[in-house]
Chains A and B, each alone.
Chain A
């Protein structure tokens, strides 16, 4: 894919920022011994609230959910930041963040025990971040700036030696 210098930098900065955010979301959960996805799941509304209840009621499922969140966010964040397997990371991240959206969508009529930190109507930051991750998947940069470059077998675009 041919990017102008400005586009390349813009997309890379976007990738780094989203990576940084997800990485810290994951690590902050890893280092907090009291963190559990249960509180979030218990407050789930709409279509997936039944699934959420089942997860919370089952210690094994809850533990899986906790680990997927903690390690999933950490891994996706780190990979995006370093530009390693970044396209896969972007897809995985998009799915994860989209799940957060669908477990607690900001639809009218749904009330949550914790107030949102902003004002949202159907669209919230989770949906936007999921969309950003999708954009990062469709416009990859890690093969140019990032560790994925090491895996480039053939030279593309500006990777021309002569």
Chain B
């Protein structure tokens, strides 16, 4: 072959080599074009159509320096299961609890209960008084006040036990009290505490009866103390986000809201453990039942009633005060509903034929004619089918908890309605598709938590256990206590103040009254009476 030919051949072979080397580059180009197209379509479709519309407000900051201003002495009246949790929210756990939580964390790396507790802000308080009618729990309260395994430094003072709440209120060193007794005691203690000048954190439901609720309201107003009702959902970020969306009218006119409770375990139906050390000597039964309409002598039945008090109308209001109150208050927080004009309710004892007199399947309807709104509440204690809560608007539906949670803790999704007026154009253009949520809120979705048992998942889905601040898990009860203490120190109003408490109490009592009397109950706001 001549030199010239060789050269030509070499050039063409060189070009062939280049072509073969780059042969798959066009495929890469096709990939990039396909990717770009897909991303553009996704961005249009499932996108954050709503998040563009929402004026984002960040969640309230969890940290404020108010805790450093004044040391507060607290008393706890009623140190049962809920009392334990509340006092942990203050920053004190029993040695048993810290030990067990430490062990759980060692066994299961996903169990963050201890980490969450220890990373709580030090609220600069001491527990100086514990009142409980059961000796074992009173002693546990004293131990908790002394426990040095806590967020922050060693406590300045430790607790003294009081056998009667009036003795505790007589201690001038105590600035504020937390009431976590059964409901039939709430009114008396709250009223006496307010009159003694103590600030009050009271567990929900506000009272056992409607009349008591009005009396508590008037006393708190007269004395001007700082009052917080124990609806920790007020601190939940998801509810704040939901409120922003609804305030901006993104759901359109809302005429129906469905709230549900779905539980299916004895514990969830208040069949709680009877403490082995509970007996006539360790329990002050007579004091316990003093405000109850029906009294019985101490014995086995009394033991059941002491430890499982939510099963009887003598001490509480069953589903109404325990669970409906939470869902109602969350909705009141989101939609600022106030007290309904009418309420009716039905139900029965269909599953737990164990001597209780409160219903285990119960439904209530609240009517707000002035707001063109019906609120439906439906509860069962014999099915775990998580129905979730739905706020149903003409333009979109917001589904909270339940199946909408999609595994996240207290998430919600907003889905457009196919017949929406507001989104008509976007629906026609295919920008909004009713199959995909137009807004999804799922806090902590990048974070995995070991919230395990079905009941704790129930609470978590409703934001009653944990909420998120800047992506970090925080106990909502702790935030709620802190909100109350901040208000005491700054002279402000906490989030679930006495006005909100009155809304909750009257609405729940209207529904309970309807169940007990079998008729529709009307609220007379002028005379503050139920008709």
- A interface residue numbers (CB < 8 A to B): 12, 16, 20, 23-24, 27, 31, 34, 36, 38-39, 42, 53-54, 56-58, 78, 81-83, 144-150, 159, 161-162
Contact = CB atoms under 8 A, between A and B. Distances in A.
In the A-B complex, the 7 residue pairs with the smallest Cβ-Cβ separation, listed nearest first, are A57-B109, A149-B21, A38-B448, A145-B23, A34-B445, A36-B446, A161-B13
Contacts of B31: 20, 23-24, 81
A58 B112 CA distance: 12
Contacts of A161: 9-10, 13
A54 B25 CA distance: 41
A162 B109 CA distance: 67
Interface residues of B, number: 24
A149 B20 contact: yes
B25 A53 contact: no
B109 A24 contact: no
A20 B29 CA distance: 11
A50 to B, nearest CB: 10
Interface string B1-25: 1000010011001000100111111
20 contacts: A20-B27, A34-B442, A34-B445, A38-B446, A38-B448, A39-B407, A42-B448, A53-B109, A57-B109, A57-B110, A78-B28, A81-B24, A81-B31, A145-B20, A145-B23, A145-B24, A146-B21, A146-B24, A161-B10, A162-B9
- Name the residue among A12, A56, A58, A83 with the largest chain B CB count within 10 angstroms: A83
B33 interface: no
A22 to B, nearest CB: 11
B62 interface: no
Contact of A16 (B27, B110, B446): B27
B448 A56 contact: yes
Nearest to A77: B31
A58 to B, nearest CB: 8
Interface string B356-380: 0000000000000000000000000
Contacts of A162: 1, 6, 9
Contacts of B446: 34, 36, 38
Given A57-B109, A81-B24, A81-B28, A24 B35 contact: yes
